[in-house]
Amino acid sequence: MSWFLRGIKKGVKTERFPVGDPEYKPGWSTEISGEGPAECPTGAIDNGRWIPERCIFCRRCYPNYKPTGNVRIGKIYRTNGMFSKSLHVYTIDVGSCGGCNQEINALTSPHYDMNRLGIFFVNTPRQADALVVLGPLSESMREPLMRAYQAMPEPKLVVAGCSCAVVNDFPLKFDAVIPGSPPNPYTMLDVLIKLGRNKK
Ligand code: SF4
């Protein structure tokens, strides 16, 4: 109901992000900063340095470490300017809990509206520019993952859609990692935009 009323009041429902900061800042799944000891179960804090791609935002390091609100925390290793006008994304769930699926699906909602930025989901890897992997790789999904990757045309990019995807012995090289378990949609959007624009 609040979304509906906000839409009527504002006239436009969609975020201005990535122009400027997010309109509604997410709480925890943003950059973490602080000092002192941390009982981090994933080793995401090393000598006080935060390592985003290892963070699952479990909050065990609180209150020594707190979120700053910065959503631009994706790790991008390789981009491809060929996708500057549009990026077609195929998501593959290789064993997720469902959290990152829900967050990435939110990108099609009126609030984020990824289509306005030239980002589209496709139903087959044969039409995909980027493969977004969700969840830690289970043995039974190893072969379907490789078949999806091989079906994609060149050039192609591989993205870890959450921190869980990077924990296992993963058979493909990631071009980008979207930190969090689950990440917030702003971070997902930020990484997908930068992937196609030769901008890290
Ligand atoms: S929120 Fe991130 S950095 Fe903090 S304890 Fe959990 S995994 Fe470690």
* Cα 197 to middle of ligand 1, angstroms: 30
183 DSSP assignment: P
| Dist CA 27 CA 66 (whole Å) | 10
Does 55 contact ligand 1 (Cβ within 6 A)?
yes
Closest residue by CA, ligand 1 atom 1: 57
* Cα 8 to middle of ligand 1, angstroms: 38
* Cα 41 to middle of ligand 1, angstroms: 7
Does 58 contact ligand 1 (Cβ within 6 A)?
yes
**Which pLDDT value is given to residue 109?**
93
Q: What is the pTM of this model?
A: 0.91
* Cα 71 to middle of ligand 1, angstroms: 16
Closest residue by CA, ligand 1 atom 4: 61
**pLDDT band per the 50, 70, 90 thresholds, residue 13:** confident
The arithmetic mean of pLDDT across residues 47-61, rounded, is 95
Does 38 contact ligand 1 (Cβ within 6 A)?
yes
**Which pLDDT value is given to residue 114?**
96
From residue 125, alpha-carbon distances to 131, 134, 153 in Å are 8, 15, 8
- Exposure string of 157-174, with b = 16+ CB inside 10 Å and e = fewer, is bbbbbbbbbbbeebeeeb
Ligand 1 closest atom vs CA 65: 4
Instruction: Please say whether the beta carbons of 75 and 199 come within 8 A.
Output: no
**Which pLDDT value is given to residue 7?**
67
Pairing of strands 75-76, 119-121: unpaired
- Average pLDDT over the chain, rounded to an integer: 92
Put the strands of the sheet holding 176-177 in their side by side order.
75-76, 176-177, 157-160, 130-134, 87-93, 119-121
**pLDDT band per the 50, 70, 90 thresholds, residue 64:** very high
The arithmetic mean of pLDDT across residues 70-88, rounded, is 91
**Which pLDDT value is given to residue 27?**
83
Does 73 contact ligand 1 (Cβ within 6 A)?
no
The arithmetic mean of pLDDT across residues 110-130, rounded, is 96
**Which pLDDT value is given to residue 2?**
67
Tokens of 97: 């809990």
First to last CA, the chain: 37
3-state secondary structure of 100: helix
- Judged against a pLDDT cut of 90, whether residue 95 lies above it is answered with yes
Which fold does the domain 75-195 belong to in CATH? Answer: Rossmann fold (3.40.50)
pLDDT tens across 128-183, in order?
999 999 999 999 999 999 999 999 999 999 999 999 999 878 999 999 999 999 99
Ligand 1 closest atom vs CA 58: 6
